[in-house]
């Protein structure tokens, strides 16, 4: 049989058609404005209900000013990787502030959460006898990191501590790492981290928690889910979180003990071989941490809006997930229903993206509605009214 040319246009066109036929084709939108409560697309103003800008900081004047001043001082590019000459005093200041804020000994910066998670697994997994246990609904970066490592990946059913316990017991003689999101990115629910931390301590497994969607939102002054659940560095040795969601910037960090962070500096390939985060972004993120502590009304307003949305959705019998986070999934089942619902809302002036496989499991397509502290009560009520009309309109679509 003749070999297939995987880069040939006809082969690629066939693959694209298959994606389109399954209603899974993704189309990119171009935002013509700053991220905020309102965004502009094709000169149309839309109420934005799909951004991770949970606290409304992405366009905050203080962050813009910090970014501009740092750009004046350091220029635009960082110039090189952190271990060559890319690490500036702005990076040092942010690392020290993150460590202090999270109550951990040390922190290390990355250009993205994806790179941070790749670094964690590639560094901590030493050989093929190591086992990596992950919640089935973990973020793709955590799954990909495990698949790229030399370890054996075991995916336990979502938030099923009993299944995790049984898996860890079966590998009592092997090195074990457990990874979980704190807030699951597509469902918005919280992992049972207190139980998982206790179990990892009993089974001598290392626990890694990705708090990308909880950092800045939960805990005292936004210190995250680990702070909310009173889990310290001993309970959760490796914490990862991002600056690109509630903090309105970009990039990520790993926080832990001095020895742990030093190991990442020496061995984490995504850290060693990637150009450092822009100094201006580091300065803006540091300012965002200051705002978390001085403008706590943002979290208060956010949770009041979440409660209002959930109460209204339940009154309208909308099929929303069990989440008290800013992530409020409205399940549609089929990808076609999710697309149509998103289109109807768009035409009514709302931006809510349809989420489909492979981002979520088959038959669990949804609208991933996200709420921001910038939204108003009127915005929430208008969205609920639009959702009620839109879900009625797609009732006959399978």
CA dihedral 147, 148, 152, 157 (to 10 degrees): -30
Domains contained in the chain, CATH given: 23-52+296-393 (3.90.1150.10), 61-294 (3.40.640.10)
Cis peptide before 358 (omega within 30 of 0): yes
Cα 136 to the chain's mean position, in Å? 15
Task: Please check whether residue 198 is in contact with residue 164, taking contact to mean a CB–CB distance below 8 angstroms.
Answer: no
Q: Which two tokens stand for residue 90?
A: 């702005």
Can you give the three-state secondary structure of the chain, one letter per residue? CCCCCCCCHHHHHHHHHHHHHCCCCCCCCCCCCCCCCEEEECCEEEEECCCCCCCCCCCCHHHHHHHHHHHHHHCCCCCCEHHHHHCCHHHHHHHHHHHHHHCCCEEEEECCHHHHHHHHHHHHCCCCCCEEEEECCCCHHHHHHHHHCCCEEEEECCCCHHHHHHHHHHCCCCCEEEEEECECCCCCCECCHHHHHHHHHHHCCEEEEECCCCCCCCCHHHCCHHHHCCCCCCCCCEEEEECCCCCCCCCEEEEECHHHHHHHHHHCHHHHCCECCCHHHHHHHHHHHHHHHHCCHHHHHHHHHHHHHHHHHHHCCCCECCCCCCEEEEEEECHHHHHHHHHHHHHCCEECCEECCCCCCCCCEEEEEECCCCCCHHHHHHHHHHHHHHHHHCCCCC
Q: Which of 252, 254, 279, 221 is nearest to 90 (CA)?
A: 279
Catalytic residues: 52, 139, 181, 185, 210, 213, 245
Q: Which residues of 333-370 are buried (b: 16+ CB within 10 A; e: fewer)?
A: ebbbbbbbbbebbbebebbbbbbbeebbeeebbbbbbb
Task: Please check whether residue 162 is in contact with residue 182, taking contact to mean a CB–CB distance below 8 angstroms.
Answer: no
What pLDDT, on a 0 to 100 scale, did the predictor assign at position 6? Answer: 78
Q: Which two tokens stand for residue 46?
A: 């839309």
Q: What is the pLDDT of residues 64-123, one digit of tens each?
A: 999 999 999 999 999 999 999 999 999 999 999 999 999 999 999 999 999 999 999 999
Task: Please check whether residue 54 is in contact with residue 370, taking contact to mean a CB–CB distance below 8 angstroms.
Answer: yes
Q: Which of 334, 326, 335 is nearest to 308 (CA)?
A: 326
Q: Which of 282, 180, 277, 159 is nearest to 226 (CA)?
A: 180
What pLDDT, on a 0 to 100 scale, did the predictor assign at position 3? Answer: 60
What pLDDT, on a 0 to 100 scale, did the predictor assign at position 2? Answer: 58
**Cα 175 from Cα 207, distance rounded (Å):** 12
Cα 113 to the chain's mean position, in Å? 8
Please identify every stretch of the chain with a pLDDT value under 50, giving residue numbers as ranges.
1
Whole-prediction pTM value?
0.94
């Amino acid at each position: 049989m003749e070999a297939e040319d995987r880069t040939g246009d006809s082969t690629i066109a066939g693959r694209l058609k298959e994606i389109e036929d399954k209603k899974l084709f993704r189309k990119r939108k171009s935002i013509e404005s700053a991220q905020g409560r309102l965004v502009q697309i094709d000169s149309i103003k839309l109420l934005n209900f799909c951004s991770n800008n949970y606290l409304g900081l992405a366009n905050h004047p203080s962050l813009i000013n910090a970014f501009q001043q740092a750009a004046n001082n350091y220029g635009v590019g960082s110039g090189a990787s952190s271990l060559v000459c890319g690490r500036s005093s702005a990076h040092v200041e942010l690392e020290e502030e993150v460590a202090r804020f999270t109550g951990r000994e040390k922190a290390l910066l990355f250009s993205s959460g994806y790179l941070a998670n790749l670094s964690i697994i590639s560094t901590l997994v030493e050989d093929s006898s190591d086992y990596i246990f992950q919640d089935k609904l973990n973020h793709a970066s955590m799954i990909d990191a495990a698949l790229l490592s030399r370890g054996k990946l075991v995916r336990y059913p979502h938030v099923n501590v009993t299944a995790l316990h049984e898996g860890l017991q079966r590998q009592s003689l092997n090195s074990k790492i457990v990874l979980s999101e704190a807030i699951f990115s597509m469902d918005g629910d919280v992992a049972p981290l207190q139980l998982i931390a206790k179990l990892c301590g009993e089974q001598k497994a290392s626990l890694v928690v990705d708090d990308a969607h909880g950092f800045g939102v939960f805990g005292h002054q936004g210190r995250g889910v680990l702070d909310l659940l009173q889990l310290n560095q001993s309970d959760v040795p490796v914490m990862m979180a991002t600056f690109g969601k509630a903090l309105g910037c970009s990039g990520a960090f790993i926080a832990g003990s001095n020895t742990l962070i030093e190991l990442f500096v020496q061995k984490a390939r995504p850290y060693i071989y990637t150009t450092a985060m822009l100094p201006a972004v580091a300065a803006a993120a540091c300012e965002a941490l200051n705002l978390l502590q001085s403008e706590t009304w943002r979290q208060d307003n956010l949770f009041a809006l979440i409660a209002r949305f959930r109460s209204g959705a339940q009154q309208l019998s909308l099929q929303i997930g069990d989440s008290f986070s800013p992530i409020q999934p409205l399940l549609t089942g089929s990808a076609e229903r999710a697309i149509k619902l998103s289109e109807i809302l768009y035409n009514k002036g709302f931006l809510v993206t349809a989420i489909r496989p492979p981002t979520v499991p088959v038959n669990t397509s949804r609208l991933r509605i996200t709420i921001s502290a910038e939204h108003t009560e009127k915005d929430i009520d208008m969205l609920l009214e639009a959702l009620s009309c839109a879900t009625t309109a797609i009732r006959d679509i399978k």
